[in-house]
Structure 1
Amino acid sequence: MKYNLEVDLSIKSSHSLILSRIKPRSKVLEFGPATGYMTRYIKEKLQCEIVCVEIDTEAAAKAEVYADKMIVSDINALSWKEDIDGLKFDYILFADVLEHLYNPGLVLATASEFLEEGGYVMTSIPNISHNSIILELMEGRFNYQQIGLLDNTHIRFFTRESVLKLLSDCDLEPVEWLTTMRRPNSTEFNQDYNKLPVPVRNFLKTRIDGEVYQFVTVSQKSTEPEANITRFQVEQYQNYLDKDYCQFYWAKDKRFSENNSQNITISDKSFSLYRFKIPEGAWNSLRFDPANTIVLGEIKNIRLICSNSIVKEISNEAITESVNTVILENNAVIRFVSLGDDPQLLFQDLSRYTKSGCVIEFEMKVEDNIATIIEECVNYIHHYVDLYNTQQEQTNQYRVELKEHKAKNNMQLKLLNEEIERLGAQNVQLDNELKSKIYDFEMEIGLLNNQLEDICKREEKLKKEINAITSSLSWKITAPLRRLFDYIGNRKTKE
């Protein structure tokens, strides 16, 4: 009993799509009811008369509570048709059943024999061509799972074309073609487009049925069995896990986690108001993920509403680009483009306002049309190519001017070097002349020193001779005579 689910019509699952199309008080034949999660709704909510065929005895016992008749039988064996012989039904249901059968065409054709005129056969069948399977195959894997697209009890696999052929072979014509949609990262394989080269990624994202998880068909007996049965209403329903949403995070020191975040489903492509309640705390890191896919977006009128109802306008400059995001323009409106499935914008530290809790709000619109995003990115690139070319022209002009200045400076440098060489040569000449004069002076000084030395020697000799004379006896005897001569000399001077 691997499938024991609850029915929620607010979620557009394959089961809710089938149940929402059954009219009350109808006659229903349900194959493979499992534990009766759909059976119960059909009986209690829609008050239908319901017959079930289930192979699992334990599951049948649980579903039997809600069925008017429970047939425990192998659907492949076709023995169940004897138990409903003579009955006709308004709806015959194969919800996730045909892929488990060895001969689904034979079973479907046999069951259709019990369809009331104007009645409907409803099927839900997994899509083996889902991009998550292709991504698995590209990595060399085809691993069965407990549930899902590669449920280990699946025997047959289907694509759009093979579902259409199956219905056609049973003389059934779809009047509604419904699908449930899931991106690869929200399937049981948790695959990611971003690890692929961009051309491959874009090819997979745009291929038909690439994100169709299940085909849900509402068919009637064909009025033109030989015709090409492609005339039906097509509706695709996005899985709730895949809905585009934005998410706001608050954290300390950029330690962001899902526990401290709030996400809001993205509205239509016009400006819408988004409000995020930030609880009390010293949050110094705020992050806004504007989408969970590639988008082109605009943000304006950012406001912070504090607990005391004071409204603070937040400048656009408070937001900076981060992972997978490029800000194209940051004026009155912040225009940005996300380059992956996890685009991020960072807010400046607003902890002085968020300590007691607050609400941050702003208006935002996003565009997820790939062609529009590519066009905008191309325009952005062209804009920056023009800026680059302008800057390149300015750079080239600066280079010309620099070259001219360099040539002029080189000329001046050459003249200075020549002047230095001239002055250097002159300096050498002066140095040589100075050395010659110094040498001459030194020679002259040497001669004078020699002459001075001779004079000193003669002076010393004279001193000795005078000393000898004044010390002699004759000098002493003649002393009175010298005084007499001095006296006579002085009188003649006076006269």
Structure 2
Amino acid sequence: MSAETSMGFVMTEQNSSNVKTVNQHAYYRTFDAKDRNSVTTICDKVPAGSLVLDLGAGSGIIGKYLSTEKKCTVDGIDINLEQVEHAACYRKIQSANLEAQLISELISDQYDIIICADLLEHLRNPQQLLVQLKDYLKQDGRIILSVPNVAHIGLVCDLIEGAFEYRSEGLLDNTHVRFFTRHSLKNLLSESGLGIKTIEEIELDPRETEFNSHPYGFSPELMHLLISRADALTYQFIIEASFDDEIAENLVEEKHTETLSPVSLSYSVQLFWRTENEEYDTQQSVTAVGRIGKEIQQFELKIPEMGHPCSALRLGVADRPGYTRIETIKLCNASGAVVWEWDGNADTLLSLGSRQEIEIADLRDSQSGVVVLVGTEDSYFELPVPTNLLEEISSGGSLQLTQSFPMSADYLALTPRLSELTRLQVEQIDELKKLVALRDSELVVRDATIKAHQSSPEEREQLIIDQQHQIEELKHLSELQAQQIQEREQLIDERDKWLIEKQDRAERQYEKMEELELLMKQHNIDITRRTSNVEFREQSIDQQLQIRDDSINSLTAEIGELEKQLEHHMSLQFWLQRPFVFLRDTLLNKLQ
């Protein structure tokens, strides 16, 4: 599969004619040199006028661009020539199974560039192909590869949910037989004798991939852990490699000490949106990852199409307590036009009043932006965007944010102390330079003294006086240095004392956390016990209610029977009384 196949350029043939069409995937609908995807990145790395071999040509879109726009001479090999729509742009193109045939049976030239665009994952033994390419690459030639990253967060989320579904394209393409991470890919290249010159990442948010159905269905804590892993958003690797013995040897040495990338020191920024009569939900949010220690960072939080008018936006600038500085906030529509921009005042952000565990204040000394105190992991504030402007992002858009990383109060307290230590160290270095200069001058004086032994007594006396002055200056400098060392030791003692206090506070907090965990466990046990009791009581009540209902039904049936019997008795009584009434009436008539 070529790069255009993996990114959605899949070739099909119509039954009614010989006209070939392209089923374009949602990732990259057209080949635009201004876009940054695997195809354009590969083409950018190829110098104009190069002799190029395109292995796994696919639709031939790479060969077409290189031959027409960069005036390259391009040869191609693909397993199915019927899908090579742009075959006419190649100098020559052949059909071959690269696992069944040797390269020597197909080509004899040496090339400046050999392209393997999304090819290795389709080969059961990609190393067998790579080692053959050395003989068909010029001395300064390069191999350019694009390989999908199986450690992408979308696929990881699928695995957590127990899914590993093959698809017609993407990371789990039906035709993939090998899967790579950065680590395993570097091992493959090293074992093939290749050294990596450059490696770039094509990053895609899970919402823009085939894993867009549930990219953020987990808890914020788990999502932060997953997304802050190295290469979490990397969809493909673009690698330049060569058979440079020195580079390959260094790569082999690094392989033995290389380990999987640990979780980076990072934090996350999260943007929520909602439509009218809806509540905020993590399913309707987007997260970006920032790096701890990087002073000013820019984020672009992409907002998908909502289907209904947007009514509110909520921003969480950090998922940990601390101080951060916000410089700019811009809201753009789907076409990239700015529809709203924050004016830089704290009162504007506080105007809605809808915020949680967060405080905002203007900066002093004419600095731009505001300082934000984030109180908890779930602090946020609503953006004061007018309703009519929110409607403009209902079809999609983005929030562009510029801010610093969240700094703790301890960090802010330690910063001036570290600055003072740095200043003292600089001063000591300057003093040492002065001492060295004086030592050099002393050597000069010593040499002059040796020569002065044959001089007059007056000259020798003047030299002695000069030496005494120099000795006094050295003593003075030594006293200053001793004083500075003492001050530095005091600062170090204060720092050590502060660090010990901080460690004690951390140990106490850890003990409190353990106590809280025990209490939580006990609380959970109590809740479980109470839940069981409540469920047992509910079952007992249900049984009693069932018995009562049965008794009521039985009594109702008995009352119905009694009513029927009573009605029957009254009917009998009526018919039995009628003869006596007739005789009574007859006797009364006769008596009258």
**Taking structure 1 as the reference length, what is the TM-score of the superposition?**
0.54
Q: Which runs of 5+ in 1 are unaligned?
A: 233-243, 257-265, 275-282, 303-310, 356-361, 377-495
Of 335, 353, 376, which aligns to 2:372? 335
Q: Report the CA distance shift for 1:331/1:89 in structure 2 as closer, same or farther (over 3 A).
A: closer
Give the equivalent residue in structure 1 for 2:353.
320
Question: Structure 1's 163 and 301: CA in aligned 2 closer, same or farther, altered over 3 A?
Answer: closer
Contact 1:175 1:220 in 2 (8 A): yes
Match of 1:205? Answer: 227
Structure-2 residue corresponding to 1:72: 95
What is the identity, as a one-letter code, of the residue corresponding to 2:92?
A: K
* Equivalent of residue 145 in structure 1, options 167, 171, 188: 167
**CA offset at residue 98 of structure 1?**
0.7
CA contact (8 A) 1:316 1:331 kept: no
Q: Deviations over 1:266-288 (max 9, x none)?
A: 9x97699x9xxxxxxxx9x8634
C-alpha spacing 1:343/1:83, structure 2 compared with 1 (3 Å): farther
> Which of the pair is proportionally richer in helix?
2
Supply the distance in 1 between the matched residues of 2:96 and 2:400 (Cα, whole angstroms): 58
Distance 1:301 1:157, change over 3 A: closer
Distance across 1 between alignment mates of 2:329 and 2:251: 54
RCO (CA 8 Å, sep 6+): is it higher in 1 or 2?
1
Q: Deviations over 1:121-157 (max 9, x none)?
A: 1111111122222221111111112221111110111
**TM-score with structure 2 setting the length:** 0.46
- How far residue 102 of structure 1 moved from its aligned partner, in angstroms, is 1.8
Larger Rg: 1 or 2?
1
Letter of the structure 1 residue corresponding to residue 62 of structure 2: M
Distance of aligned partners of 1:271 and 1:173 in 2 relative to their CA distance in 1, 3 Å threshold: closer
Look up the match of 1:34: 58
Among candidates 184, 209, 217, match of residue 206 of structure 2: 184
Deviation per residue, 1:419-438 (Å, 9 max, x gap): xxxxxxxxxxxxxxxxxxxx
- For the residue of structure 2 that corresponds to 1:120, the secondary structure is strand
Provide closer, same or farther for how the CA distance between residues 321 and 330 of structure 1 changes in structure 2, counting only shifts above 3 A.
farther
Taking a change above 3 Å as real, the CA distance of residues 154 and 251 of structure 1, as seen in their structure-2 partners, is closer
Structure 1 residue corresponding to 2:45, chosen from 4, 21, 25: 21
Contact 2:56–2:79 under 8 Å retained in 1: yes
CA contact (8 A) 1:101 1:155 kept: yes
Offset at residue 15 of structure 1 (A)? 2.0
2:9 pairs, out of 3, 13, 23, with 3
What SS does the corresponding residue of 1:163 show, helix, strand or coil? helix
- 3-state SS of 1:75 partner: coil
In 2, the alpha carbon distance for the partners of 1:218 and 1:301 equals 37
Displacement of 1:3: 2.8
Answer yes or no: is the 8 Å Cα contact 1:168–1:229 preserved in 2.
yes
Contact 1:173–1:222 (CA<8 Å) still a contact in 2? yes
Q: Where do 1:257-336 residues align within 5 Å?
A: 287-288=312-313, 290=315, 298=326, 315-321=348-354, 327-329=358-360, 333=370, 335=372
Which of 51, 69, 77 lines up with 1:45 in the alignment? 69
Structure 2, gaps ≥5 residues long: 11-27, 256-267, 281-289, 301-308, 331-342, 364-369, 392-398, 412-592
- Residue deviations 1:377-411 (CA, integer Å, cap 9, x gap): xxxxxxxxxxxxxxxxxxxxxxxxxxxxxxxxxxx
Matched to 1:56, the amino acid is N
Cα deviations by residue, 1:18-52 (Å, 9 ceiling, x for unpaired): 21111011100001111111111110111111100
Superposition pairs for residues 16-415 of structure 1, below 5 Å?
16-60=40-84, 62-79=85-102, 81-85=104-108, 87-190=109-212, 191-193=214-216, 195-196=218-219, 198=221, 200-224=222-246, 226-229=249-252, 287-288=312-313, 290=315, 298=326, 315-321=348-354, 327-329=358-360, 333=370, 335=372, 345-347=382-384, 365-367=402-404, 369=405, 372=407
What letter is aligned with 1:347?
P
1:353-397 Cα shifts (integer Å, max 9, x gaps): 999xxxxxx997423x4x648989xxxxxxxxxxxxxxxxxxxxx
Cα distance in 1 between the residues matched to 2:175 and 2:297: 47
Deviation at residue 248 of structure 1 after TM alignment: 11
More displaced 10-residue stretch of structure 1: 143-152 or 186-195: 186-195
The alignment covers a number of residue pairs equal to 328
CA distance in 2, matches of 1:23, 1:196: 47
Structure 2: distance between partners of 1:130 and 1:159: 9
**Measured at CA, do residues 117 and 334 of structure 1 come closer, stay the same or move farther in structure 2, by a change above 3 Å?**
closer
Cα distance in 1 for partners of 2:101, 2:121 equals 16
Alpha-carbon shift at residue 298 of structure 1 (Å): 3.2
CA RMSD between the two structures: 4.8
Percent of aligned pairs with the same amino acid = 24
Q: How many Å separate the matches in 2 of 1:301 and 1:157?
A: 40
- Deviation (angstroms), 1:67: 0.6
| Equivalent residues of 1:320, 1:346 under 8 A apart | no
Q: CA deviation at 1:10?
A: 2.7
Is the 1:28–1:89 Cα contact (8 Å) retained in structure 2? yes
Counterparts in 2 of 1:315 and 1:106: CA distance versus 1, 3 Å: closer
> What is the CA–CA distance in structure 2 between the aligned matches of 1:363 and 1:334, rounded to whole Å?
18
Aligned residue for 1:76, secondary structure, equals: coil
Tell me how far 1:349 sits from its aligned partner: 6.9
- 1:176-229 Cα offsets, whole Å, 9 max, x none, are 12222234343321243561362x444323333333221221011131455434
Give the match's secondary structure for 1:91. Answer: strand
Contact persistence 2:200–2:238 (CA under 8 A):
yes
The alpha carbon displacement at 1:231 in A equals 8.1
Name the CA shift for 1:44/1:375 in 2 (closer, same or farther; >3 Å): farther
Name the CA distance, whole Å, in 2 between partners of 1:149 and 1:204. 18
In 2: Cα distance, 1:133 partner to 1:373 partner: 34
